[in-house]
Structure 1
Amino acid sequence: MYQEMKIIDFLNEVDSPSPAPGGGSVAALCGSLGVALSRMYAHLSISKKRFKDLDETVQIQFLRTFQMMEAKRSELLEAIDQDSEAYNTVMEAIHMPKDSDEQRTARSEAMQKATITAIESPYHIMELSTEIMSTFMDIIPFGNKNAVSDIAVGVLMLDTAVKSAGYNVRINLSSLQDDALRTAWQKRMEEQLSKSESWKTLLLREAEKYL
């Protein structure tokens, strides 16, 4: 749905009174743009003589990472729609009837289930983005240094995706009634934020060697 829109149409949809697509979908878009920029860096590298002169093992790993990133970019694109669908699930639960005890119980259970979905969706964006960043040392040192600024921006976009999706996890955590479950999700979210910050620092330091 949203992933197939023209850029201007998607921007207009975000810039509207509708609450979806919102921050989670935009985080997924940031991540997919980060992957696209990183793949552009690879595209501009693999045809160069310098790349072809590299050790065969390095070339193979570079190309494996390049191919993996295409699949992850597709997952992040799908997450644009998935996050909006997760929000819609929460809204459906909120609007369930609550006139009787049975209805209130059913509504409460539906809201908790929908809240978990609304946490899982942006967390998936966080996890995907950090996973992609963790492979970039297979790419940055061996690519076309004339385009190293592009993969640096790609790193920043992926880190932005992680941090942005993290806010969407946090806002939904407050709706969880299960304290242990909320604490577990909080810990998982913080671990992804820490990983992303570490990878961003390392990767930008590597990229800046060539600027």
Structure 2
Amino acid sequence: MVDTKFTDDLASGAPVPGGGGASAYAGALAAALGSMVANLTIGKPKFADREAELKRALESLDARRNELLALIDADAEAFSKLAACWKMPKATQEERAFRARAEQDALHAACEVPLSIMRVCALVVEADEYLVANSAKLALSDVGASAVLAKAALEAASLNVFINTGLMDEEERALAYEEEARRLIAKTGKAADEVHGAVRDAITRSR
């Protein structure tokens, strides 16, 4: 029986988990698929000369999965702190100033967490780039699925970056967050598409 707690929580009317948590969860699934492929490949005679590299890829993917699962809670915490700022009193000028400062501080964490999700998903795709050339053909579809999920997770997480930078007063820092997000999308998106294309070409029957 599949544990549906996370998806049940996601489907509820509660504000967390939300898009950031879902992005981290999708990224964790991508990492898990990569780990599965590595586990299936390690020990096969055909890949004996690459076993050390495959084990390193597996260790990396297992670590990335754990990081992404931890980021689900980190994202919920970051949003909860931001939402708490919006409930602060604002009747006086002092209260409004305190509320504004607290909100700006919370916005930085609310950007850092989805950026962390993006960074980790980029590492998942890097592992997929290795696996696509170093795994059995029967496992290639799972490598491709991992890359597609990681790219989707990365792009979904970027939306949390952009919605929060839009609320930031510190333009220079906001632009820095956005620039990193765009770099990750461009570089990792291209790499993931190449993995997907290589897999599709390898497993699709010629017509």
Common fold, TM-score beyond 0.5?
Answer: yes
- How far does the alpha carbon of each residue in 1:167-191 deviate from its partner, in whole angstroms, 9 at most, with x for none? 1111111110112122111111101
Name the structure 2 match of 1:174. Answer: 166
Name the structure 2 match of 1:3. Answer: none
Query: Is residue 61 of structure 1 aligned with residue 53 of structure 2?
Result: yes
- If the length of structure 2 is used for normalisation, what is the TM-score? 0.93
Measured in 2, the distance between the counterparts of 1:59 and 1:45 equals 8
Measured in 1, the distance between the counterparts of 2:156 and 2:3 equals 20
Query: Is residue 24 of structure 1 aligned with residue 16 of structure 2?
Result: no
Q: Which runs of 5+ in 2 are unaligned?
A: none
Measured in 2, the distance between the counterparts of 1:64 and 1:209 equals 27
Which protein has greater RCO, CA pairs closer than 8 Å, 6+ apart? 1
Measured in 1, the distance between the counterparts of 2:142 and 2:57 equals 17
1:68 CA displacement: 1.1
Query: Is residue 45 of structure 1 aligned with residue 41 of structure 2?
Result: yes
1:186 is aligned, of 161, 174, 178, to: 178
2:127 is aligned, of 117, 135, 155, to: 135
Secondary structure at the counterpart of residue 133 of structure 2? helix
**Contact 1:149–1:207 under 8 Å retained in 2:** yes
Measured in 1, the distance between the counterparts of 2:3 and 2:159 equals 24
1:59 CA displacement: 2.7
Measured in 2, the distance between the counterparts of 1:28 and 1:9 equals 15
Name the structure 1 match of 2:190. Answer: 198
Which residue identity does 1:93 align to in structure 2? C
- How far does the alpha carbon of each residue in 1:90-130 deviate from its partner, in whole angstroms, 9 at most, with x for none? 01111112222222111100000111111111111011101
1:92 is aligned, of 84, 98, 104, to: 84
- How far does the alpha carbon of each residue in 1:24-63 deviate from its partner, in whole angstroms, 9 at most, with x for none? 00000000000101111111111212112x3xxx332221
Measured in 1, the distance between the counterparts of 2:3 and 2:77 equals 20
Query: Is residue 13 of structure 1 aligned with residue 5 of structure 2?
Result: no
Identity of aligned residues (%): 27
1:207 CA displacement: 2.2
1:22 CA displacement: 0.3
For the aligned residue pairs, the C-alpha RMSD in angstroms reads: 1.3
Which residue identity does 1:28 align to in structure 2? A
Count of residues in correspondence between the two structures: 202
**Contact 2:35–2:61 under 8 Å retained in 1:** yes
